[in-house]
Chain A
């Protein structure tokens, strides 16, 4: 079915068009919207685009980085200053998908996709959105919890603080087909260290709930402690708390619950 394509020069105009039309979807890289159209999704009658250069801007020089929502994974990989995000970017699709897929679109990718968002969730990212209400910043966790109700808003950019060291941020995607398969589970950990102890632990999981979630019990097990074997074991045993994975072709809910603690232990221990 033919759809109406509306292309705007500014993100603000595109946001206005999105908020005023429930059947409109924003087209970024195309890996979600075009797929939906190919599958015959009749709920989409209007496709909205924006050619605003702000959407593809990268500000990665300072301690807090800001990525336009239209930045592709290939561009993240090409940016030396974004080295801490290279592993999540590289874990997504093949080269063509990485040339097309955007970090803004990844926020909306359902299981077993959305791996980059797992990394952003562990980094306490902030999502800048625009809609009928104007523009505002929203914490990524709040954004994800209301993801299904974000249809009328346009994501402008995502920002997060750069981890203090390479060791402080860790990422692991478990896939049956490497390197491009969908996620069985995805894990990211941000472990800032202060005085030899973890302060502000963040553990994020993908494919362990309808959206990417924080593993709060595991975070509590790590908080204020040094990253020793006992702490890691406590965090690993708490990894399933609050999760609600589902069955799909890549793995059963039971299997996901069985392995999440194992992989969290490996991630925290620095094992390959």
Chain B
């Protein structure tokens, strides 16, 4: 079966790859581009650890057919840091001990970024709703919620 050419913008740079038919975006990112920040969790859309932004909208890369991102903007955790500095959300996660094993963290951060990009000053309930598709099995949700609220607060005071 012939390979399919695919071009899209990945964290601010253009990429061109060849994918097999039916390849999901998570596999394309990890195995063909080498961006290991989106994680494979359940492969069923249940855990959220593969979350990425496509044209600024939160999507599950494991359930996204790679071909469908042709010509679109894909953002992952790998593109989140701002030059040598951590993104305020990453800083807040570190400061608030919001990562224990860290496996859910890339997806949590992308879900949080999707929220704050749209709503810079969310309520606690809005934060809970925003990460409701992302499962954490060790950190516990409270430090994550507090980190996102802290990052939002930081934006206000900045």
Residues of A participating in the B interface, judged by any CB pair closer than 8 Å: 1-5, 7, 27, 29-31, 34-35, 37-39, 47, 49, 74, 93-97, 99-100, 179-180
Contact = CB atoms under 8 A, between A and B. Distances in A.
Contacts, number: 87
Contact of B24 (A4, A29, A37, A97): A37
Contact of A35 (B1, B45, B68): B45
A35 B58 contact: no
Q: Does more than half of chain A's interface fall in helix, strand or loop, or is it mixed?
A: mixed
A96 B60 CA distance: 6
Contacts of A179: 129, 132
12 contacts: A2-B1, A2-B20, A2-B22, A3-B22, A34-B24, A37-B22, A38-B63, A96-B45, A96-B60, A96-B133, A99-B57, A99-B59
B44 A97 contact: no
B51 interface: yes
A27 B65 contact: yes
Interface string B105-147: 0000001001000000000000001111110000000000000
Contacts of B44: 35, 38-39
Contacts of A94: 48, 111, 131-134
Given A38-B24, A47-B65, 19 more contacts: A1-B22, A2-B1, A3-B21, A4-B1, A5-B21, A5-B22, A5-B67, A7-B67, A34-B24, A34-B63, A38-B62, A47-B22, A49-B65, A95-B130, A96-B133, A99-B57, A100-B63, A179-B132, A180-B133
Contacts of A95: 58, 111, 114, 129-130, 132-133
B43 interface: yes
Closest 3 CB pairs of A and B: A94-B133, A3-B22, A38-B43
Contacts of B67: 5, 7
Contacts of B63: 29-31, 34-35, 38, 100
B11 interface: no
Nearest to B111: A95
Contacts of A1: 22
- Which of B48, B58, B63, B129 has its CB near the most chain A CB atoms (within 10 A)? B63
Interface residues of B, number: 30
Contacts of A49: 65, 68
Nearest to B60: A96
B4 interface: yes
A4 B22 CA distance: 7
Contacts of B130: 95
A100 B55 CA distance: 13
Contacts of B22: 1-3, 5, 37, 47
- Which of A35, A94, A96, A100 has its CB near the most chain B CB atoms (within 10 A)? A96
Contacts of A47: 21-22, 65
Contacts of A29: 63
B64 interface: yes
Contacts of B62: 34, 38
Contacts of B21: 2-5, 47
